Amino acid sequence: MTDIQADLARPLATAQTPAKTRRQRETFTVAPWAYLAPALILLFVWTYIPLVEAFQLSFYQWNMLPTAPQRYVGLKNYERLMALPEMRNALWNTLYYILGLFPMSVIIPLFVAIWTQDLTGRARMIYRGLIFVPMIVAPVVAAILWRWLLNEDQGLITLWLEQMGLGRIGFLTDPNYALATLTWITGWKLIGFSTLLFSAANAGINPSYIEAARIDGASRWGIIRDIRLPLLSPTILLLSMMTILFGAQWSFAYINVLTNGGPLKSTTNIFYLLWEYGFQTMSAGWSSAAGMIAFAGFAVVAAGCMWLTRRFAVYDN
Amino acid sequence: MTIDASPDISQGHPPLASSASNMGSLRCLAVHAVMVLLSILSIFPIYWMIVTSLRPENEIFSTAFWPASPTLENYVFVLTRIPMLQMLANTTIVAAATAALQVVTGLFAAYALVRWRMRLSGVIHGLIALSWLVPFQVTMIPNYVLASRLGLLDTLTGLILPNASHAFAVLLLYHAMRSFPTEILEAARIDGARSWKILWQIVTPNMGAPIASLSIIAFISAWNEYFWPLLLSRKPENSVVQIGLQMFMTQEGNLWGPLMAAAALASLPILLIYLILQRHVIESFMKSGIR
């Protein structure tokens, strides 16, 4: 509410004519900060200060009870984590989630968008309206829907598979399948949306390039490879970056609702491990240390992605 | 979003015309097949949720695509078993308040960055943008400790407050405002209009589209939010519908009819918004990338 106060103060300031110029300069420096205050205060209180606190906590041992003391342990938390097979397992699983998402968040949508570019009119609008829907479905709802469809006893897909003579698959209970199932659910929410993003970018390509290439005798595939893909590269890189940076985070709700990281830790990724250390085993130090490792890792990856985007994205201008 | 300039293969190549149009109709069929498949994949799980929620108990494992005798008993069961209406009301409050606060804090911050060229503008812009990259799981313990110190556990305020400002909101409005003609701002300033007045009477009325986009996205994201409520909530009647669903699933996980009815009730408001504002919702999400 500081901005309201600042603004209320201003009429008084301008009323005093002799000091006007000096006052004006003064308000000119205060006003922007007053406007920035709500966003910046919230940001610092809920993101940046906690980030620093988490960094500090990663050198302590603490069981999260307000009365319990925090004991300084130096780098012990990091050393233990590095030695833990759990941590390595979670990091590998994080990688699997991200790689498993790529076909659904980038590759298939890209080719579907190019393949269906000639669609027009009403049909296009209907498909658009339908394939977007998973994007706005709540993760918990998505988890429950797929839990029902894939249920080992009576799920529709299980029954279909059985009718086809493929037997029953423990989609969520078999350690060989659970991670793939959760990746699929995460990807289900994205596939239509990514397709729409690619379609929009693809439709924005200047048709005269395509025309010119065709006159030069370029093949259909040649046009895709030499014109469409390069001009779609900003979207490809954007979606890839989103998948890499946020893919593992998106899967958190599914892990928590459907498998709790099991069976046999096969679906635990780094973000789920953070939550487990923090709120199940109550070891704030471990959770924070693992969080710092993840944050540093993803920050490096983010910087790399941005560099790639600047280096390789082709813009039409 | 105009795709009307669809290059026609047969045009301009008369010798190939007949074979091309043949290939065209086959290709057309294949194109529709791909899209129909993708559409079914997207929508069928939701359809199946609604169908299951309407089945009476003795039909629950049927694979028929429509219940023989549809009933609302599952919905009645959910409404009497858990405080569903209370949770829906809570979620509406949380989502609406979050969206409104993000719009206001976003407008203020974007306005400050656009109107005043400060030496620190770049730094602030960067700080706001970078906060997006901090995974919530990394800051969750300090956030939790802070919330419990402030007495925000198990309250709606606690659910709203940390999300009252978001990098995404500031950036979206910042980019929209940057394209606002500076001459008008300049003219208003010379006329002696105060920044507060310029913001509300000149800038904001012209920000209708981005504000609407932001509100839609913020409302839907807040409605679907799961992680923070999971940490904060204790009692179902003080919580949001996502937590209610998760609790209901843990307790009555194999009562498929009521579970689907609960899931349907939890998604109904969002699906209704989508039905009414379909075009706006899609465009808002597409313009702003993935949140």
Residue B25, chain A, CB below 8 Å: the answer is no
**Residues, chain A, total?**
317
Q: In this structure, are B277 and B135 located in the same domain?
A: yes
Give per-residue pLDDT as tens, A82-127. Answer: 898 999 999 999 999 999 999 999 999 999 999 988 888 888 899 9
Read off φ and ψ for residue A280, nearest 5 degrees: -110, -55
Give per-residue pLDDT as tens, B116-168. Answer: 877 788 889 899 988 988 888 899 999 999 999 999 999 999 999 999 999 99
Q: What tokens appear for B208 in the block?
A: 């209708």
Test B7 with A211 for CB contact under 8 angstroms: yes
Read off φ and ψ for residue A151, nearest 5 degrees: -55, 140
Q: In this structure, are B174 and B43 located in the same domain?
A: no
* Structural domain containing residue B45: 17-71
Q: In this structure, are B83 and B61 located in the same domain?
A: no
User: Is residue A190 very low, low, confident or very high in pLDDT (cuts 50, 70, 90)?
Assistant: very high
Output the domain CATH number for residue B126: 1.10.3720.10
Q: In this structure, are B93 and B134 located in the same domain?
A: yes
Give per-residue pLDDT as tens, A196-238. Answer: 999 999 988 888 888 899 899 888 889 888 889 999 998 999 8
Lowest mean pLDDT among A242-251, A254-263, B173-182: B173-182
Short-list B183, B213, B211, CA closest to B198: B183
Q: In this structure, are B149 and B169 located in the same domain?
A: yes
The DSSP symbol for B2 reads -
- Shortest CA gap A207–chain B (Å): 7
Instruction: Report cis status (omega within 30 of 0) of the bond before B83.
Output: no
- Give the pLDDT confidence score for residue A3 in this predicted structure: 32
Mean pLDDT score of chain A: 86
Domain end call among B33, B56, B71 = B71
Which residue type does B257 have? G
Q: Which is more confident, A13 or A166?
A: A166
Q: In this structure, are B103 and B48 located in the same domain?
A: no
Residues near B284 by Cβ (< 8 Å), separated by ≥ 6?
Answer: B212, B213, B214, B216, B217
Q: In this structure, are B267 and B224 located in the same domain?
A: yes
- What is the distance between the alpha carbons of residues B217 and B214, in angstroms, rounded to a whole number? 5
- What is the distance between the alpha carbons of residues B147 and B157, in angstroms, rounded to a whole number? 10
Test A130 with B43 for CB contact under 8 angstroms: yes
Beta bridge partners of A136: none
Domain end call among B56, B71, B86 = B71
Give per-residue pLDDT as tens, A42-92. Answer: 999 999 999 999 999 999 999 888 788 888 998 999 999 989 899 999 999
Test B138 with A54 for CB contact under 8 angstroms: yes
Q: In this structure, are B220 and B102 located in the same domain?
A: yes
Residues near B213 by Cβ (< 8 Å), separated by ≥ 6?
Answer: B172, B280, B283, B284, B287, B288
Total number of domains in chain B: 2
Q: What is the helix (H) or strand (E) element at residue A176, kind and residue range?
A: none
- Give the pLDDT confidence score for residue A17 in this predicted structure: 38
Q: What tokens appear for B80 in the block?
A: 């009497």
- What is the distance between the alpha carbons of residues B48 and B63, in angstroms, rounded to a whole number? 10
Give per-residue pLDDT as tens, A149-169. Answer: 999 888 899 889 988 888 888
Domain end call among B71, B99, B116 = B71
Test A39 with B105 for CB contact under 8 angstroms: yes
- Per domain, the residue ranges of chain A are 2-47, 76-312
Q: In this structure, are B138 and B216 located in the same domain?
A: yes
Average the pLDDT over A138-155 and give the result: 93
The reply to whether B4 falls in a domain is: no
B interface test, pick of A2, A7, A140, A210 with most B CB neighbours within 10 Å: A140
**B-chain residues near A271 (CB < 8 A):** 135, 137
Q: In this structure, are B178 and B282 located in the same domain?
A: yes
Short-list A233, A195, A200, A225, CA closest to A105: A195
Low-confidence ranges of chain B (pLDDT < 70): 1-23, 289-291
- Evaluate if residue A131 carries a pLDDT over 80: yes
The reply to whether B2 falls in a domain is: no
Residues B210 and B169 sit within 8 Å (Cβ to Cβ): no
**Residues, chain B, total?**
291
* Whether CATH 1.10.3720.10 fits A76-312: yes
HEC readout, A48-84: HHHHHHHHHHCCEECCCCCCCCCEECCCHHHHHHHHC
Q: In this structure, are B63 and B126 located in the same domain?
A: no
